[in-house]
């Protein structure tokens, strides 16, 4: 495993649409392992392959309940809405945003070996999945946020 460099905004790769994964081999496994190690090292809760410069539909997520890897993820069901807590992104340091997301989703995709998987997620996990799947489509949280701000601005708001 290796820690990879996280691509930073405004790198154009972050605006590209990732291609479906069709080969489930050792290189994909290494990519997933590296992505997980990179995410943990950066103290993130999710990472998409385009964030390490690879235009493949692969994500890793861990909101505190263990690592989830998903290849070719698609949201097939969605309901409710949530807007907090503020969202951040490893590719856009020093900015947060208030983003309206679905509160409950069902995501289908494949595991690292190409086997089908399905996950029902709500709350924070649903938010993390939506954020990472957006990356696969070249969408950043700053594109859809109702408000974008620096972390220190949020601290100032809470003192009022």
**pLDDT tens, position by position, 62-95:** 999 999 999 999 999 999 999 978 999 999 999 9
For residue 47 the two structure tokens come to: 């990472």
User: Which residue out of 37, 77, 115, 132 is catalytically annotated?
Assistant: 132
| Model pTM above 0.85 | yes
* pLDDT over 90 at 55, yes or no: yes
pLDDT band at 154 (very low <50, low <70, confident <90, very high): low
- Compute φ and ψ for 71, nearest 5 degrees: -110, 140
- Separation CA 160–CA 156 (nearest Å): 7
Residue in the block written with tokens 């100032």: 156
- Checking if the pLDDT of 41 tops 70, the result is yes
State the Cα–Cα distance between residues 134 and 98, nearest whole angstrom.
15
Residue 132 bears catalytic tag: yes
Nearest to 87 by CA among 144, 33, 141, 153: 141
29 labelled ligand-binding: no
- Count how many residues are written for the chain: 160
Residue 58 has pLDDT above 80, yes or no: yes
Residue 18 assigned ligand-binding role? no
CATH class label, 12-158? alpha beta
- Distance between CA atoms of 121 and 45, rounded to whole angstroms? 14
């Amino acid at each position: 495993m290796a820690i990879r460099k996280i691509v930073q905004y405004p790198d154009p790769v972050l605006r590209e649409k990732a291609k479906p994964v069709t080969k489930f081999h050792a290189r994909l496994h290494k990519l997933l392992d590296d992505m997980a190690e990179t995410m943990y090292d950066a103290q993130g809760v999710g990472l998409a392959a385009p964030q390490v410069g690879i235009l493949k539909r692969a994500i890793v997520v861990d909101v505190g309940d263990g690592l989830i890897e998903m290849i070719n993820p698609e949201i097939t069901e969605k309901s409710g809405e949530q807007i907090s807590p503020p969202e951040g992104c490893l590719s856009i340091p020093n900015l947060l945003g208030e983003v309206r997301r679905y509160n409950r989703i069902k995501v289908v995709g494949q595991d690292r070996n190409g086997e089908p998987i399905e996950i029902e997620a709500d709350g924070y996990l649903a938010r993390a999945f939506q954020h990472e799947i957006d990356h696969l489509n070249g969408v950043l949280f700053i594109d859809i946020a109702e408000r974008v701000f620096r972390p220190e601005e949020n601290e100032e708001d809470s003192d009022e």
